[in-house]
Every structure is written in C-alpha cells, then in structure tokens.
Amino acid sequence: MRVDATNYADATSRVIHWAQAGESRYVCASNVHMVMESHDSAEFKTVVNGASLVTSDGVPLVWALKMLGVPDASRVYGPTLTLHVSEWAAREGLPVALYGGTPESLEAFAEVLRQKYPGIQLPCLIAPPFRPLTAAEDDAYTRQIVDSGARIVFVGIGCPKQERWMAAHAGRIPAVMLGIGAAFDFHSGRVRQAPAVVQRLGLEWLFRLIMEPKRLWKRYAKHNPRFVALFFRQWLTSKGLGQSRSS
C-alpha cells in the first residue's frame, strides 16, 4: 500500500488547489489499521492506492517510512489536517460539507468550526444511518452534496467504510473528499484525544483501547502484531537488497 511523504503545508495546499479547481479527488489518512486492511484485501488496497494523497496519519507509519529510507516523512494526522483545511477553506470561500457521525456530533463539530474560523461555509451536513444505504438513499445524499456547492467534503464514517465511499463517489461529487475518521467527535469534545506526549510516543492506539476497550480490542489484537512482524520482514528485505546492490 502506498503512503506519501508529505506535511501539513503541502497536503493542505494540494487539497485547496484541487478544491478551487472543482476536481473530484479523495485523500486517505493512513494508520496501521488501514495498512492491515489493505494487506488483507486486494480490493481495498486498490481503493487506497487510487487516492490522490495518502498521508501518514499514525506515528508508527512515520517511523516505518524513515526506517525504509524516507527521512523527511512526517505525521499528517487526519483531525489536525481537518483544521488546516478548514482554516484555508474559510479564507478562500470554499464551501465544506460534512458527511458521517450523528446529527448531534455534526452540529457540535460545525459549531466548533464556525467559532474557530468565522465565515466558513458549511452548506451541507449529512449524518447517514449506521447501515448500508439503499441506492436511492445514496443517490439522494450525493445529489444533496452536489447541489450544496461544496468543494470539500469531510467524511467521517470510519475505516475502511469511508475510503470505499470516497472511491465510489470519485467522479460523482466535484469536490475533494477527505477521510477523517473520528475527527468530528474529537474536535467537538465528544471523544477524548490522546495527550500530545502519548501521540508522539506512538501509543495513541493504547490510549484509545483504554477508552473504548470493547470496540477496539479485536482490531488491535488482530492488526498490531501482524503489522510489526510484516514491517520488519519488509525492512530486513530492503536492508538485504541495499547491501547486495552496494557489494
């Protein structure tokens, strides 16, 4: 699975440029969960690799990139990128749509954005049901987003659902779609974010596990050990190839 070396300034600049041009694109914020979902599903790997930008949302991915010879890799965390993009969207007059969460979480997040970035345009807030949509429902929501004039869509329905949704709507919605996971709940204060020091140590997953053990323990038990093992196999292979080329 592809992960791009970028930073907040570069990623934000790309999103705003695409949005100003009215281009239909999508951005994935990748962590260990997404990498392992991609490893387990060729179809999902195609979805992620089809994105216009794949950022290193998780600190372990930044470490992995650096160990693989990408020294300028840096974290571009989805919830933080959301704020950078929102700030520039307000400055540039680019309408933003919100898709995901609950009506309450969307309203709370929208209020946060309006307070932080006066003048931001939020013409479309959609909280879809927590079940597969019918074709008619999906068409109605898509038309609502298109008719709103949104040029940026924050999509918060969780991995891998949000990435598949964005890929399915590329070309149908003339906007830049960003998969931002739990950013709606984080920024509205409905869910606690890990302290900055915990994030820097790459232990955000542990903090979230403590906060939501019933929901997350199976995910982390399944994915984290395999990620470590598979990454070190890749790293050792790359080291071996590097040595053979230099000899």
Q: Is residue 169 part of a domain?
A: yes
Q: Is residue 211 part of a domain?
A: no
Poorest-pLDDT segment among 136-140, 164-168, 179-183, 204-208: 204-208
The pLDDT-based confidence of 242 (bands split at 50, 70, 90) is low
Q: Is residue 223 part of a domain?
A: no
- How many structural domains comprise the chain? 1
Domain that holds residue 97: 8-194
| Residue 196 CB partners (closer than 8 Å, separation 6+) | none
Q: Is residue 206 part of a domain?
A: no
pTM (global) more than 0.85: yes
The pLDDT-based confidence of 247 (bands split at 50, 70, 90) is very low
Q: Is residue 72 part of a domain?
A: yes
Is the pLDDT at 190 greater than 90, yes or no? no
Q: Is residue 125 part of a domain?
A: yes
Backbone phi, psi, residue 22, to 5°: 70, 30
Q: Is residue 85 part of a domain?
A: yes
Is the pLDDT at 238 greater than 70, yes or no? yes
Q: Is residue 47 part of a domain?
A: yes
Angstrom distance (rounded) from CA 193 to CA 185: 9
Query: Chain-wide mean pLDDT for the chain?
Result: 91
Q: What is the DSSP string of 98-146?
A: EEES-HHHHHHHHHHHHHHSTT----EEE---SSPPPHHHHHHHHHHHH
